[in-house]
Structures are given as structure tokens and as C-alpha cells.
Structure 1
Amino acid sequence: MPRSAPLIACLLGLLLVAAPAHAASPPPWGTGESQGQDLAISLVTFSPGDDVASWWGHGSLVVEDRRLGAARLYNYGMFSFDSTMLGRYAMGRLEFWVAEASPSATYRFYRSQNRDVRIQELNLTPEQRVEVGRLLATNVLPENRDYLYHHYNDNCVTRLRDMIDRAVGGQLQLADRAVGRMTLREHTRRYTAVSPPMSVLLDFLMNDEIDRPITRWQEAFLPDELERQVAAQQVKMADGQMAPLVAKQWDYYKSDRTPPPEQPPRYAPWMLLLGLAVGGSALGLAYWGRRGGRLPRVLLGLEHVVLGLGLGFPGTALFVMWLFTDHTVTYRNENLFLANPLTLLAVPLGLMLVFGSVRARRWLRVLWLALAGLGVLGVVLKVIPMFDQDNWRLIAFILPISLGFAGAFHLDRVLARAPGAGREPERQPLPSSLKTP
């Protein structure tokens, strides 16, 4: 079964309004009371929200028996906020489940969050509606409801996609074999563009598994993409005629939020400028403090602490996730050439440098030489096809920093070898008028 990715991406706004995980009584479509012509099956799409978990949007299926006046919303995005949740998530073993909820209460909740509620009633035959209702009523039972979450391969939206595809006899997947608009990384970057720091962090943590070409079917891990594909789908009906998969669609609520960008943001130039600035600052501080000044030494040491925390912690976390967790999307990540557990050593060594440790200066010279060498190696290895991770933005940011800091601790040697270094300036003879008698 697929493992979970480093971010919980399904949005769980329904957690407060959902009904108990298993209802007191089964719905009429689960007991056989409902008739196909009385049922309506709808795909509901909720737009992204403010918190990290809701950046991706959310989706659900609604079953309604208009004759019996029963309706339930099926949400595959439920998980437990208990004491073991963080541990399970850290190990990549987070279990989700499907739960029932009141459609009207759910819609009101999302409206209160100023998030779109868009509804597509599916054009299914009576037999297909009965089958979807029966499957959803079966899935919500305690013995069937749980599944191991994977952000891209098995989440609260892919479960809806698979259910709809099963209802139409595989026609959705057949039509979605075409090449997708962009890679999983590009989709991730455009949905996380609301927070550049978090976007860069996620970009750093994920390997080339999300850089491979994908199909439109795989793109439907996103609620908006599934909605778009369902709206464009034509299916063969019982009489052999082709008809739209969507019978009708409408907005329950339209928010004033800006939708996610259609293309991922172009961070690379800004990241390169920032990397050059940070790396150049180390060279500047080293030159300023070449005569032993205290202030430039302290500033350079504090800069090490900040970098050690900002790059060393993510690099160490990435290394640990590769070795000890089920987060397959972090394995064999090329960004470990740029930041890794070695980078974390900049924190204690930087503090030692603040207090004037000569030993710290020697160790920092070795540390940054090693990190710069690894960074350059990571770039050189890209001539080999297997090193194809889309991490040029991270290279543009981190490699200039490593090179700049490595240069800073070798600046004294460079200056010492410069022409004229270490020699006394030649004395000019005094004018005869200033000579003593």
C-alpha cells in the first residue's frame, strides 16, 4: 500500500460538523429501500482555506434520496487528533477514514470559512446511483472505513475519483490516460505559493518521485482537478449514446478568495539573489574581521547559528525520514548534497566562534569546504540520468551560501598569497628640505 507523503494535504474542515463515524442507523440506500430514480449522486468541491492542511481544497460525495428525504455527505478526509497522531504521521503511517455528515451543516461550515462550495450532480443511470450509494454505505462501516493515507496516490479525493470511475465502468480513467498538464511537484508548488517559506521547505523535502511525467488521472489527487475532469467527461449511457457526466452544476457559495495560480511561481531568480547575498555577507564579514575585530566575528558566528538551524534542521530531518520512516517521497533526495546533518554542526561551532574560539574557526573551515564540495558534486552528478531531481531552485539558493562561507574561512590564506602580502611598504626618501642638519 502506498506510504504517506511528508504533508497531510487533505483538508478536514468537516471534523467539527461530521456525524459519528458510524451512524446510528444505515441510510435507505444502504438497506435497499432507495430506488435508483429517486437518488442523486453529487460531487462537492470545497476551495482552499487558510491553514496548511486546507491549502489543497477538499471534496466529498453526497447521496440524496429525494423521495424519502434523506441525504448524507461522505468525507474521506477524517483522521484522529489523539496523542499518537504526530508519531504516526512522523513515521508515515497516518490512517484516514470515511465518515458521514449532514450536507447542509457541512456547507454552512465551509461558508463560514469563506470557502467555495461547488456542486456537480452526476449524470448516472438509476442502477449506477444505487451501486454508488450501496458502496458508500458499505465503506463507512467500522470494518471498512480506514485506509492508509498517501498525499498523491490515496487521499480523500482519489477515493472519490475511484468511486466515480467504478460507477461509469472505468470510462473516467480511460479518458484520463492523456499526459497531465504538469508534474506533481509543479502542482504542489502552485498550491503552496500562498506561503513561500513553506513552499520552499516542501520543495526541499521531496525527491524526484514527484518529477516524473504523470497522467490526467494522477492529477486528480487535487479536488479542483477532479472537478475539472468530471465537468469535461463524456460517458456512454445505457442506450449507447454519449452524454456529459455532469447533469447540472451550481455554486452553493462563492467566496471572494483568489484561486491557486495556474502555474507554479518563479522563485529561482529570487532564491539565487538571496543565496548570493548570504554567501557574500560571509565574505564581507571575513574581510572586515581580518585584523581580529570582535564585532564581525560575533556577527559571523550568529550567522552560522541561523544557517545551522534554517538549513541543518531540515537537512537532518530529511536524512532521518529517508532512513527510518515510510515517507518514500523523501528517499534518496538529492538535496542532501546541499544540506544534511553536517550543516547542523554550524550551530555549536558558530556559538564557539562568537566567543572567540580558534578551534571553531579551524573546524568551520573544514565544515564549509566539505559542504561546498558536496554541493558541487551534486551538480556534477546531474549529467547522469538517474540524478534528475528538479531541485535547481534549491541549488541556486544553498550552493552560493556554502561556497561563500567556504571562501570566508579561506580568505586569510588567499590574502596572504596575494602579491605584496606580508611585505613592508617601501619607504620613500624624505625631501632634502626636511632632512635634519
Structure 2
Amino acid sequence: MNKLIIALILLFFSLSQSIRGQEDNIKVSLMTCAPGTEIYALFGHTALRYEDTARGEDWVFNYGMFSFNTPRFIYRFVKGETDYELGVTRYPYFEGSYAMRGSSVYQQTLNLTISEKQKLRRLLEENYLPKNRVYRYNFFYDNCTTRARDIIEKCIEGKVVYSEGKERLSFRDIVHQYTKGHEWDELGIDMCLGSEADKPIDTRKQMFAPFYMLEAAKKATIVVGDSVRPLILHEKKVVDVEPEDVREGFPLSPMVCVFILIGVTCFVGWLQFKIRKIIWIWDLLLFGVQGLAGCVITFLVFFSTHPTVGSNWLILLLNPIPLIYLPVMVYRAIKGKKDYYHTINIVCLTSFMMIMPFIQQKFNVTVLPLALCLLICSANHVLLYYRQNNK
């Protein structure tokens, strides 16, 4: 009997050691990559690393794969119908690509049980099936970071609990943190986002940004009944490189360009008074650009499925009306006829500038001077007409 008990104890010990060894062989990590210089890489990136030393496996599962060569890519992106997919690559290639582009990579090893690691592997393999790997990308709610977070949560037997951050930021606040130093990119994004992007969001929604996910994971715990364990075992920097220098783009900032535009508009207005004639080519350029920008904003508001773009109050300033009316405007300017459009435009622009502080939307700093520029142009039309006809 004693020999049987001893044999059972030894068997149990052997099995437990085998399981422990199996658990030690497998390591799953959350990989967070530093931002790059391209607009699609400004916010960083998230992936999952799966290591199994017993099998000689070291894979990176990446939910951020896409191709610019996809048919109608730009149209689909603006409309909110961009498809991303799960890609799998060997870790050395992943590490090398980020090292070459000057992006550091942080590895957070997950504190998972062997069964949770195995379940995660099955879920990743299922996601990688051709019928499952493609998904409809959503910048704020369904991207490479949220996908990695969600699949981690699915494999855990208990619940992942995140500590709520003290600072209630908005989507736009977080976007601005990553577009600092990229003023033209920030302008483009600001023009597209509506008032919904300025509402405070909780910690979970903030995790759309890779480094917010990294910070949330540091403090997160796994709760299984009365048992509590940290989500992250340890963290290290596996790629430590100096970031690439920001590529020099257009030398002038958006604000400088807008003030130059105001200066040119004032000069054109002075010149019109001097020659007593409307320079209609300037109208064609200024109001044409306003109308074209308005077409983009209008499309985003009414047709795009992107979140936070449908509540964009900027449509009061940028809409297609000037573009539609432009032929009539130019005709009346050439003939020297009175154009009520400019009187109405003065009222609308003045009203817009007056209500701007009360609209629950943060506008880019260039919006007010841009509205002022358009106001000056219309005011020049009205004043010149009355000067010519009230001698």
C-alpha cells in the first residue's frame, strides 16, 4: 500500500512538473511599437507574440495588415469601409522591420495559465483562417490594438479588470498627443472629426491608442473568483532605437498659410477698390477651394460610416454651396451685377464665428482665421458694389 501511495505521489509530481515545463515553454506577449513618421503610423502599433521554445515557434500575430493597392482604397477609407486583416510573421522579421524604421518595441509578457495560452493559440489560429482574417477596420473602436485586447480577454477564464484613469480625455485629445509636430496631419484629422470626438471617454475606449493600452495593461488584474493576479508578468524593451527624424514636409505651418491667405485677400480687396473692378479669378480660387473642402466634409457627415464624423459642425463653414453657386458668382462679378450671395455669406460667417465658442466641438486653430478670410472677401464685394453705385 505504501509503495502504491509513493508511486501515485511520484506520478502526480511528474505530471505537475510536465505541465509546469509545458507552461514555461510557452510565452505570450503584448507587443507595443513606437510611432513612425507616416500618418498611418503616428499612433504606434500593437501585436501579439506567441513563443513556444519546445516547438521552436516564435510568431507575431498582427491585426494591422492592409494594402494601398486595394481597389478604390481612398474612397473606401473615406467612406469607412476599409478592410484590415490578421497577418502572421516570424518574430525576427517583425523586430527587424521596426528597428530599421526607427521604432522601439515594448514587450509585456502576459500572466496566463497553460490552458489560457493554449486557448489563445486556438483563437488566433481560428482568426487566421481565410474566412475570418479580414475585418472591417474602425480607427477608434475596432483596430489592431482593440483586437489584440479583446482576444486576450476571450482566452482568460476569469475577468480582466482595468483601473479607471483619473483624467477623462476625449478621442481628439489623444489624437492631438500623437499629431504634435505634424501640424498638417493634425489639421486634416481635425477637419474630419465632429463634436462626438470631444466627449470624455473611459479607460477602455482610450485603449484604441497602443500606448494607452500598454499603460492600462500594466495596472490590470485578472480576477477568477477570489483569486487575483496581475495581467502582466514583466515588461522589457526588445527593440531600443533612436526614432527617425521627422521628414520635412511643407515648410509653412497651416496657421502661417492662413494668415498669408488673409493678407492676399486684403491685398486683392485693395486692388479691386483701386481698379474699381472685381478680380473674379480670386473668387474662383478661394470659394472653389472652400466648396471642394465642403464636399469632403459633407460626404463624411452624411455618407461615411466612420465614428465621430457625422456630428461635424464645421459643415456650417465648409459645404458644397459655394462650389455649386460659383458659376453664377463669377458671371455676376464679370458683369458688375449685385450679388446677394455675399451679403448672405457675411451674415452666415459672422453668425458662425459668434456661436463657435458655444458649440461643443473643438475646432482647429486655423478655422477662425479661415472664416475671417472668407468674410473679408465677401465684404469687399459688397463694399465695392455700393461704392460703384452710390457716387
* TM-score calculated relative to the size of structure 2: 0.80
Identify the residue that residue 12 of structure 2 maps to in structure 1: none
- 1:24 counterpart residue number: none
Distance in 1 between residues matched to 2:155 and 2:195, nearest whole Å: 34
> Are residue 372 (structure 1) and residue 346 (structure 2) matched?
yes
The 5 Å alignment of 1:33-432 reads 35-80=22-67, 81-168=69-156, 171-172=159-160, 174-178=161-165, 180-236=167-223, 240-243=227-230, 245-257=231-243, 271=255, 275=258, 278-279=261-262, 281-292=264-275, 301-308=280-287, 310-344=289-323, 357-359=334-336, 362-363=338-339, 366-380=340-354, 387-391=359-363, 393-412=365-384, 422=391
Q: Deviations over 1:118-159 (max 9, x none)?
A: 211112222222222221121111222222110000011111
What is the CA–CA distance in structure 1 between the aligned matches of 2:364 and 2:342, rounded to whole Å? 20
Mapped contact 1:207–1:330 kept (Cα < 8 A): yes
* Cα deviations by residue, 1:222-254 (Å, 9 ceiling, x for unpaired): 1111112212334447882544x2222222222
Distance change >3 Å, CA 168–CA 55, structure 1 → 2: same
- Kept after mapping to 2: 8 A contact 1:275/1:400: no
Q: Distance in 1 between matches of 2:166 and 2:285?
A: 42
Is 1:279–1:405's contact at 8 Å kept on the other side of the alignment?
A: no
CA RMSD between the two structures: 3.4
Secondary structure class of the residue paired with 2:144: coil
Report the CA distance shift for 1:232/1:328 in structure 2 as closer, same or farther (over 3 A).
closer
Contact 2:109/2:234 (CA < 8 Å) preserved in 1?
Answer: yes
| Inter-CA distance 89–278: structure 2 relative to 1 (3 Å threshold) | closer
Structure 1: where are the runs of 5+ without partners?
Answer: 1-33, 261-266, 423-437
Aligned amino acid, residue 268 of structure 2: L
Residue 340 to residue 287, structure 1, CA distance change in 2 (3 Å): same
Whether contact under 8 Å (1:122, 1:247) holds in the other structure is yes
Task: Report the Cα distance in structure 2 between the residues aligned to 1:204 and 1:88, rounded to whole angstroms.
Answer: 18
Change (3 A) 1:373 1:50: same
DSSP-derived class of the 1:42 partner: strand
Letter in 2 for 1:344: L
Question: How much has 1:413 moved relative to structure 2?
Answer: 5.4
> Quick check: 1:302–1:350 contact (8 Å CA) kept in 2?
no
- SS of corresponding position for 2:196: helix
Q: Hey, what's the Cα distance between the residues in 2 that align with 1:85 and 1:287?
A: 45
Aligned positions, number? 364
Task: Judge conservation of contact 1:74–1:99 (CA < 8 Å) in 2.
Answer: yes
Identity of aligned residues (%): 21
Question: Which shows bigger deviation, 187-196 or 275-284?
Answer: 275-284
Q: Which of the pair is proportionally richer in helix?
A: 2
SS of alignment partner, residue 378 of structure 2: helix
Q: State the 1:416 CA deviation.
A: 7.2
Q: Deviations over 1:378-405 (max 9, x none)?
A: 3455687xx4222263542322112211
Taking structure 1 as reference, are residues 46 and 392 closer, same or farther at Cα in structure 2, changes over 3 Å only?
A: closer
What letter is aligned with 1:159?
R
Query: What's the offset of the Cα at 1:79?
Result: 2.6
Structure-2 separation of matches of 1:134 and 1:85: 32
- Inter-CA distance 96–389: structure 2 relative to 1 (3 Å threshold): same
Q: Give the direction of change, closer, same or farther, for the CA distance of 1:38–1:202 in structure 2 (3 Å limit).
A: same
Cα displacement (A) at 1:376: 3.2
